[in-house]
Amino acid sequence: MAARSAWRGAGGAGRGASLSGRARRWPWPSSPPASPAVGAGPGLGRAPWAHGAVRLQVAVGGAEWHYIATQGPLPHTCHDFWQMVWEQGANVIAMVTAEEESGRTKSHRYWPKLGSKHSSATYGKFKVTTKFRTDSGCYATTGLKVKHLLSGQERTVWHLQYTDWPDHGCPEDVQGFLSYLEEVQSVRRHTNSMLGEAGRGPPPIVVHCSAGVGRTGVLILSELMICCLEHNEKVEVPVMLQALREQRMFMVQTGAQYKFVYQVLVQFLQNARLI
């Protein structure tokens, strides 16, 4: 595949958008939905709701990388979002958008603000409490306690929100985005180390922007390509992008986003003093 045309949108749109969907972006018919049917075990099955979420799996660096690429929640799908997070065992959420940009809602806020009178909020079967928040310039790291109200079980979920993506184009501060990506990787390693040998393997991380394809694709593609560099594997950005698009259409939507992935890789190599 030629690099100059690799970013072009994949075809094959679905028959229609579900009521729970934010934008007209669909998985391929063969892609597994991110939530199992009611009463199902931990494996993937057809979701009882359509939230535009797809579980992605890619082998890089001798390991399987798992993601859930999804849309930003709407007011009436926040409970579905947390149901998905809980059922899939996800403990890291990477949000690549502000809640509002240029007066337009990109994602409904699905977690409570720290220090407010309402630092806890209930979404369907789940009570979410904000425990701490750390601001790092272009991104924020928030610790959440999620309680399943029916079973009483509690889990810690890390929420990492990148807030410096401009209304048009891509971030000018490539190092800032790379720092955010490195924070996502660091938190993922930390949470995976806490699982111990009793776990069934690392859970997926949830990645979303607004539609769940453009910026979401940039983050996932950048991380996978950096992993290739770290393990001295062949860096084939067009091939990896095609592998992602075979699981979720429209990943990395624009030429500017595709170019930005290369800028992130160059910045990574410069930081490592490899170029």
Known catalytic residues are 209
Q: Spell out a b/e string for 29-48, using b for 16 or more CB atoms within 10 Å of the CB, else e.
A: eebbbbbbeeeeeeebeebe
User: CA 91, CA 85: separation in Å to the nearest integer?
Assistant: 8
Our CA angle for 166, 241, 2, nearest 5°, is 105
With tokens 């690549």, the residue in question is: 96
Q: Which of 77, 61, 94 is nearest to 225 (CA)?
A: 61
